């Protein structure tokens, strides 16, 4: 699978970089700030020393660990599954939202609001066991390709962030994903792609029920792990305030605010998509990854903002 190839490439790249734990990061103030923080909280002689049990780092997924344009990859998966099921049974297209989904018309689907999205999720994400759903997600990765890059979706992960995750773990941190995406969707690939086990993934979740030895996914939504929901998800699942948080949009603002408002050393990191040549350039406008408040308030709060074009010498593993 691509994951193993990327891992080998990551190891070879790291080996060629001698002792540098972040070889895909340029030697800018951003890299220096990250490393200075990690060194300060892991050195027993430092006044900012943090015990390993409290070294918790949380990362948003979409737009922060992998790409998110033109729309969230999980939504693309959902639209394709609705289309496939409609080909087998056209009668399922009983609403305008479902018809838009089958046609891949994201704008028309968005016009239907949350109700339309729930209709799509009911077709694409429910009536199936968690295990079968996750197997289907992995199968989709094998065939689906990004509309503009032609790449596998699981290849559009950020090499610099993979290095950061590994660096933090090497220094005794727990690394968690705190995503607005569906928890079962992200758990399907998080361990093989990021080295983060499924029990360290916090995400949005729908209702489930236990039936004959299986946990079945039901229609609806129980918890949205976005914006103010992220601190709630962290409190509920992790049980303590992290000391490091990384995101890329205003949907992550509350998470960074929560993490950096605690006592002791704290680090907030925002990824600013400034590289239209190697990835995508966007911030204040759009329908995904909008970054306004973070750009305006982040520096004053002491948060570090990654300039993708300037701070990264490499974007994807291949």
Per-residue pLDDT tens digits for 222-261: 999 999 999 999 999 999 999 999 999 999 999 999 999 9
Residues 145-187: tens digit of each pLDDT: 999 999 999 999 999 999 999 999 999 999 999 999 999 999 9
The ranges of the chain annotated as CATH 3.40.50.1000 are: 2-70+152-311
Q: Quick check: 29 pLDDT over 70?
A: yes
Q: How far is the C-alpha of 267 from the C-alpha of 142, rounded, in Å?
A: 36
Q: Does 199 score more than 50 pLDDT? A: yes
pLDDT of residue 318: 82
**In this structure, what are the phi and psi dihedrals at residue 182, rounded to the nearest 5 degrees?**
-65, 135
Residue 112: pLDDT band by 50, 70, 90 thresholds?
A: confident
Topology (CATH level 3) of domain 2-70+152-311? Rossmann fold (3.40.50)
273 pLDDT exceeds 60? Answer: yes
Q: Say what the pTM is.
A: 0.93
Return d(Cα 135, Cα 110) in angstroms, integer. 28
Q: Looking at the predicted structure, is the pLDDT value of residue 33 above 60?
A: yes
Q: In the predicted model, what is the mean pLDDT of the chain?
A: 94
pLDDT (tens digit per residue) in 37-75: 999 999 999 999 999 999 999 999 999 999 999 999 999
């Amino acid at each position: 699978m691509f994951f193993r190839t990327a891992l080998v490439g990551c190891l070879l790249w790291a080996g060629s970089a001698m002792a540098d734990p972040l070889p895909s990061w340029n030697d800018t103030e951003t890299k220096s700030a990250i490393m200075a923080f990690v060194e300060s909280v892991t050195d027993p002689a430092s006044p900012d020393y943090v015990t390993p049990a409290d070294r918790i780092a949380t990362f948003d997924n979409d737009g922060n660990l992998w790409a998110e344009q033109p729309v969230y990859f999980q939504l693309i998966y959902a639209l394709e599954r609705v289309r496939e099921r409609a080909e087998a049974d056209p009668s399922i297209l009983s609403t305008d939202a479902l018809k838009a989904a089958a046609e891949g018309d994201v704008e028309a689907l968005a016009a239907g609001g949350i109700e339309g999205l729930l209709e799509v999720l009911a077709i694409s994400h429910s009536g199936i066991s968690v295990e079968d759903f996750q197997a289907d997600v992995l199968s989709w990765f094998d065939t689906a390709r990004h509309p503009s890059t032609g790449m596998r979706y699981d290849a559009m992960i950020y090499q610099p962030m993979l290095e950061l995750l590994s660096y933090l773990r090497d220094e005794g941190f727990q690394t968690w994903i705190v995503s607005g995406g569906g928890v079962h969707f992200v758990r399907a690939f998080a361990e093989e792609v990021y080295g983060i086990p499924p029990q360290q993934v916090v995400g949005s979740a729908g209702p489930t029920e236990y039936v004959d030895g299986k946990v079945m996914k039901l229609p609806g939504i129980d918890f949205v792990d976005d914006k103010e929901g992220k601190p709630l998800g962290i409190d509920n699942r992790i049980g303590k305030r992290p000391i490091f948080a990384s995101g890329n949009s205003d949907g992550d603002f509350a998470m960074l605010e929560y993490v950096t408002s605690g006592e002791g050393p704290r680090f907030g990191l925002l990824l600013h998509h400034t590289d239209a040549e190697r990835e995508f350039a966007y911030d204040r406008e759009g329908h995904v990854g909008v970054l306004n408040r973070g750009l305006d308030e982040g520096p004053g709060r002491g948060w570090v903002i990654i300039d993708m074009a300037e701070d990264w010498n490499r974007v994807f593993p291949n």
